[in-house]
A and B are shown apart, each in its own frame.
Chain A
């Protein structure tokens, strides 16, 4: 979690939050509960959204609702979470998953028994590990500058070649190539800092 604070610097919308959380808005300073909520959002909302989107087939609206509800529950249970050792992410993953399952059931408006699938049980350990891995990769990608992240998305993640991406982005192909190189170097560092070896 120590690294997550640095994540804010690269992303414009998150940078705004970190400024206000740091005290530029006096009303925030006066409300520790709100500070806590902002910190939870800053450190976990992005990675959690990445995970939840994968649970809800990319339904953006629904994923946001789930993340919001999960963070609210985390805030309400913060006493309990503080006492637990280590990251709160396994807790967040478990709760988010629970909310997805429950909302799925209520959307289907069916009695519980009918919809009782194997999803009912607690997530298997490897599923949590997989979710945590996903969130870590998201953290690391967030560490990149916008320009670096952009070329990785525009080429590899969208399945385009360098020249296609250069046209799409309106920048020279040579720039795309060198940015990819430096983006990968930064990504490798960002992953290593989080204990992921590539």
Chain B
């Protein structure tokens, strides 16, 4: 099995790996000495020997080298996903019901949540779960009012809806960079102030217009809450830091 004419060039592979039988290796070495093509090939392949050597040296058993995940594993994974998805949907539903009851006085008041959403786990439901405030903001019919502070450049848009208990207020705020805590205040026409909600703005901020760092958050923040006054009694909204700095005002 040693003479194979021009086929001999391919032996460089087995030679690089050191798996040629001794007599064949001797014959090939003679060829290698006089074959430019094989010398070149040897140089290009020799590094693979050490890679494969390291690869196999790290394997505790021979079977490790060729082990493949079983088809059974994929089946089990897909089954698990199906089960988890079902239970998650139930959990979401719980949260939606709980949140809706707290905010608007009963699940049915959230017009966009239909019976089919509840059973189908719709995208809307997922959106709601992710950010109820954004969900309300996006689905509220009115356009809302906006304001940008000339000094701080903070922007806010506020939407309101009348409730038996007062006013449901949803706000989108952007171009704001912390770190600080702040609150949204509803100011009535006779000067009374009520806090609608309180939150924290981190150093990467929200709705950053001109990011200077990849971590800067370009997404605006959505917050919502309630005020114990009717919409027509509200003059404007203010966003202030908790240590008293004024960030932006929005007309009601």
Q: List chain A positions with a Cβ less than 8 A from chain B.
A: 11, 13-14, 16-17, 31, 33-34, 36-38, 41, 45-46, 49-50, 53-54, 57-58, 60, 63-64, 67-68, 71-72, 75-76, 134, 137, 149, 152-153, 155-158, 160-163, 165, 173-174, 176-178, 180-185, 187-188, 191, 196-198
Partner of A188 from the list B7, B45, B63 (CB cut-off 8 Å) is B45
Name 11 extra pairs, CB < 8 A, besides A11-B68, A162-B20, A173-B1. Answer: A50-B64, A54-B64, A57-B60, A64-B73, A68-B73, A71-B77, A155-B14, A177-B11, A180-B19, A181-B13, A184-B13
A156 and B19 contacting across the interface, CB-CB below 8 Å: yes
- List chain A residues, Cβ under 8 A from B153: none
Partner of A45 from the list B9, B20, B51, B73 (CB cut-off 8 Å) is B73
Taking the nearest CB of chain B, how far is it from the CB of A145, in angstroms? 14
A196 and B11 contacting across the interface, CB-CB below 8 Å: no
Q: List 25 A-B contacts (CB under 8 A).
A: A17-B74, A31-B85, A34-B81, A38-B78, A41-B77, A45-B74, A46-B68, A60-B63, A67-B69, A71-B77, A134-B58, A152-B17, A152-B52, A157-B62, A163-B21, A174-B4, A174-B7, A177-B14, A177-B20, A178-B7, A180-B13, A180-B19, A181-B9, A191-B48, A198-B51
- List chain B residues, Cβ under 8 A from A183: 13
Taking the nearest CB of chain A, how far is it from the CB of B59, in angstroms? 7
How far apart sit A178 and B41, CA to CA, in the bound complex (Å)?
Answer: 13
How far apart sit A67 and B82, CA to CA, in the bound complex (Å)?
Answer: 18
By CB atoms of chain A within 10 A, which of B44, B66, B81 has the most? B81
By CB atoms of chain B within 10 A, which of A134, A156, A165, A182 has the most? A156
B interface, size bucket = 35 or more
**Contact A58-B61, Cβ < 8 Å, known A46-B68, A68-B73, A137-B51:** yes
B73 and A33 contacting across the interface, CB-CB below 8 Å: no
B10 and A37 contacting across the interface, CB-CB below 8 Å: no
B60 and A53 contacting across the interface, CB-CB below 8 Å: yes
How far apart sit A177 and B2, CA to CA, in the bound complex (Å)?
Answer: 11
Q: Which 6 pairs from chain A and chain B are nearest by CB?
A: A181-B13, A198-B47, A58-B61, A181-B10, A58-B60, A45-B69
Partner of A161 from the list B11, B21, B45, B62 (CB cut-off 8 Å) is B21
A50 and B67 contacting across the interface, CB-CB below 8 Å: yes
Partner of B69 from the list A41, A54, A155, A157 (CB cut-off 8 Å) is A41
Cβ-closest chain A residue relative to B17: A156
Q: B192 at interface (Cβ–Cβ under 8 A)?
A: no
Taking the nearest CB of chain A, how far is it from the CB of B71, in angstroms? 6
**Contact A157-B48, Cβ < 8 Å, known A53-B60, A163-B21:** no
- List chain B residues, Cβ under 8 A from A41: 69, 73-74, 77
Partner of B17 from the list A38, A49, A155 (CB cut-off 8 Å) is A155
- List chain A residues, Cβ under 8 A from B45: 184-185, 188, 198
- List chain A residues, Cβ under 8 A from B127: none
Partner of B19 from the list A67, A75, A160, A198 (CB cut-off 8 Å) is A160
Q: B37 at interface (Cβ–Cβ under 8 A)?
A: no
